[in-house]
Chains A and B, each alone.
Chain A
Amino acid sequence: MDKSQNQPYIADSIIQFPTGQLKLSEIRHLFDALPYEVDFVDATDHFKFFSDQPHREHPRSVDALGEHVKDCHPKQAVPAVLEILSSMREGRTDRVERTLNLNGKYVHINYIAIRDNQDKYLGCLEFTANVTDLINKFQNGKFTSPADEITGASDSKIAQTKKNAESQQSDSVSGASEC
């Protein structure tokens, strides 16, 4: 099924949020442009929506839309998925976090319970981020440490070179004081 041919149902409607307004068409493209994958399972545990990025970490098919989660997950994952969802529905959990290595990439997943202002459970948002680039940047020192300063054992390399330099230095000093 060619998703690009399907426009949102009411193309020109504007949705008024407390913090501003978006056209339905804007919402669609906004989801597509997010550098994160978004999936939504409703309060009855049915798969209702996924964002349409070109290279998803978790490929989804529109055929799965409307299915119960136990029908669109691998069998061995179903008990864990159901447990997360029922704990959210019962208010025991608001967020579950997973970190995993997927096809040589670092992937960070958040399952977030969505509730309305009366705390009524609306469903679960699965938020998937490929954080490989972020981790590489961190490892290459692109982020400064949250520490103001770092304590460590004396740096031996500096100590050694300093010692060597000093023994040479003190030799030349005694020579200099003679003349």
Chain B
Amino acid sequence: MQRYQYRFKALGTKITLTVFQEKDQQIFLPSQQLVERYEKQFSIYRPNSEISIINRLAGQREVRVSSGTFDLTRLAREISLKNWGFNIAIGPLVKEWNIGFKDAHVPSQKRIDALLEIIDPTKIILNEQSHTVMLADPYMQLDLGGIAKGYIADRLQDLWHAFGIKVGMINLGGNLLTVGPCPLHPDHQWRIGIQNPWKVRGESLRVDSLPACSAVTSGIYERNFTSNGQFYHHIFDPQTGYPVKNDLMSVTVFTDESVWGEIESTHLFFNPKITLTEAQKDPHFIGAVFVYQNHEIRILGI
């Protein structure tokens, strides 16, 4: 079966779109346009994105935003309040540590304590009627980075469906959404590889067969640094201001919607001992694979 693929860079990563019918390639250009539109809307690296404007006017005034930005901000705020580890307002803390960049460092405890006040998600004020967002603290910063890729993957799938395209793959830099029944195998299940954290990119640790779903991985193997012999990575605990301490290397979560994959991969990274019953309380949850630093693997639900 022929694959038709289109690659481009956006959202700070490599994007690969795959369809299986020659004429379905017409979807590639509108897909790229949709991604770029959302990037203009969400990116904290674009000074005129809606999120950048909210951040610039933090502590000053409310900002009217588009429905997509409002919905995603509302969902992200709601999840941030659950103490699942996910926090949409964590930006200033991440920026202080700056892990993944040359000047990464361990901030002073005094600085961390001050930042923990700033990243409080209850200080995100939303107005349902006017679709306005305001940050109550002038030092607050929103960052949809942890959830936007999932949201965008879901909207791409909506776009494909609107064009009548029912089968394909959307890969936003490792955040994967398979669409429709897999045409590559007689059982119509997709073979989804999980990146081997100890090997080069593209090498899988294991391959699972799954129906159309989203696969999102949270891992500490891409961004980290060592200071005074201590290992620090980029998944921060909003309660302590430090990288979350556990023996996980990565968590891959399979969900129906990709935005829930983003949420659950963080949730499970912070709660690796979760039971299947507990995990299934999220109706979006399908399964998860935990990869530990000692190379052990725990499989949940699949």
Residues of A within 8 A of B (CB): 145-156, 158-160, 162-163, 166-167, 170, 174
Contacts and interface: CB of A to CB of B under 8 A. Distances in A.
B129 interface: no
A103 B66 CA distance: 67
A148 B202 contact: no
Contacts of B252: 151
Q: Which of A148, A155, A166: most chain B Cβ within 10 A? A: A148
Given A149-B178, A155-B222, 16 more contacts: A145-B193, A145-B203, A145-B207, A146-B191, A146-B193, A148-B191, A148-B193, A151-B252, A152-B250, A153-B174, A153-B219, A154-B173, A155-B174, A158-B12, A166-B45, A166-B46
B13 A151 contact: no
A67 B195 CA distance: 50
A155 B172 CA distance: 10
B192 A148 contact: yes
Nearest to A151: B215
B194 interface: yes
Contacts of B176: 149-151
B190 interface: yes
A147 B191 contact: yes
A169 to B, nearest CB: 9
14 contacts: A145-B203, A147-B207, A148-B169, A148-B192, A149-B178, A150-B195, A153-B250, A154-B12, A154-B173, A155-B173, A155-B201, A156-B100, A158-B173, A174-B47
Interface residues of B, number: 44
Contacts of B173: 154-155, 158-159
Q: Which of A150, A158, A170: most chain B Cβ within 10 A? A: A150
A146 to B, nearest CB: 5
**Closest 9 A/B residue pairs (Cβ):** A147-B193, A152-B195, A153-B219, A152-B174, A151-B215, A150-B193, A156-B222, A159-B12, A162-B12
B14 A158 contact: yes
Contacts of B195: 150-153
A148 B182 contact: yes
Contacts of B221: 153
B193 A158 contact: no
B169 A156 contact: no
Say what secondary structure dominates the interface of chain B.
strand
Contacts of A160: 100-101
B9 interface: yes
A154 B47 contact: no
A156 B171 contact: no
Contact of A149 (B9, B43, B171, B201): B171
Given A147-B191, A151-B174, A151-B216, A170 B13 contact: no
B12 A145 contact: no
A153 B218 contact: yes
Contacts of A167: 45
A55 to B, nearest CB: 32
B9 A150 contact: no
A166 B203 CA distance: 29
B41 to A, nearest CB: 15
Contacts of B182: 148
Contacts of B250: 152-153
B87 to A, nearest CB: 17
Nearest to A160: B100
Contacts of A166: 12, 43, 45-46
A163 B12 contact: yes
Contacts of B157: none
A179 B46 CA distance: 19
A106 B222 CA distance: 31
A147 B174 CA distance: 13
B141 to A, nearest CB: 15
B204 interface: yes
A152 B169 contact: no
